[in-house]
């Protein structure tokens, strides 16, 4: 039996047309198909054939604009090299930046937690009321929109 190693690519999705305080109307299936289409354009049949097995969008948060893609080790290089060339997802103009490539989903979520905590600290000063701060914290630190059941509080 052969064990396949995976890589988890954490990306941030920026859109100049949507204000930063509003969520993107982004579905994980559309994002997944867009990445596969771009890999097909850039790397051809070999690239898409090597990536398609084991490729999955594990996490896509519309509020924080962060997504996690799972790919097998080796073909993950096709994924990471194709991401900067994606300029449209559906009808939305976007730019995608790779934040982290990790070996486990647990480490990717730990990275996201640190990244979102820093984002929350930066945004904290711009809010006036305590109610706005609690709503922002609830939206930013929400990990329930995943396809994976993982408890972030137990990560150490």
**What's the CA gap between 112 and 18, in Å, rounded?**
22
pLDDT of residue 145: 52
pLDDT of residue 146: 46
How many separate domains does the chain show? Answer: 1
pLDDT of residue 143: 64
**What's the CA gap between 88 and 143, in Å, rounded?**
25
Beta strands in 52-108 (DSSP E): 56-61, 66-72, 88-89, 92-93, 95-102
pLDDT of residue 101: 96
Q: What is the DSSP letter of 27?
A: -
pLDDT of residue 33: 94
Strand-pair partners of 101 = 9
Domain-located, residue 1: no
Determine if the pTM surpasses 0.95.
Answer: no
Domain that holds residue 141: 6-154
CATH number at residue 70: 3.30.70.3250
Domain-located, residue 91: yes
Domain-located, residue 110: yes
Least Cα distance to 79 among 42, 39, 31 occurs for 39
Q: What is the mean pLDDT of each run of 10 residues along the chain (156 residues)?
A: 90 90 85 95 95 92 89 95 94 93 93 86 76 75 52 40
């Amino acid at each position: 039996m052969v064990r396949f190693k995976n890589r988890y690519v954490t990306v941030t999705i920026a859109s100049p047309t949507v204000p930063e305080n509003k969520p993107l109307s982004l579905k994980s299936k559309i994002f997944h198909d867009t990445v596969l289409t771009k890999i097909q354009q850039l790397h051809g049949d070999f690239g898409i054939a090597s990536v398609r097995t084991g490729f999955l969008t594990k996490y896509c948060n519309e509020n924080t604009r962060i997504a996690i893609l799972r790919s097998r080790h080796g073909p993950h290089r096709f994924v990471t090299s194709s991401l900067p060339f994606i300029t449209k997802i559906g009808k939305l103009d976007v730019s995608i930046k790779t934040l982290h490539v990790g070996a486990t989903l647990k480490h990717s979520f730990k990275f996201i937690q640190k990244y979102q905590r820093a984002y929350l600290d930066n945004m904290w000063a711009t809010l006036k009321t305590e109610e706005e701060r609690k709503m922002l914290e609830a939206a930013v630190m929400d990990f329930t929109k995943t396809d994976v059941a993982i408890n972030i509080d137990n990560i150490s």
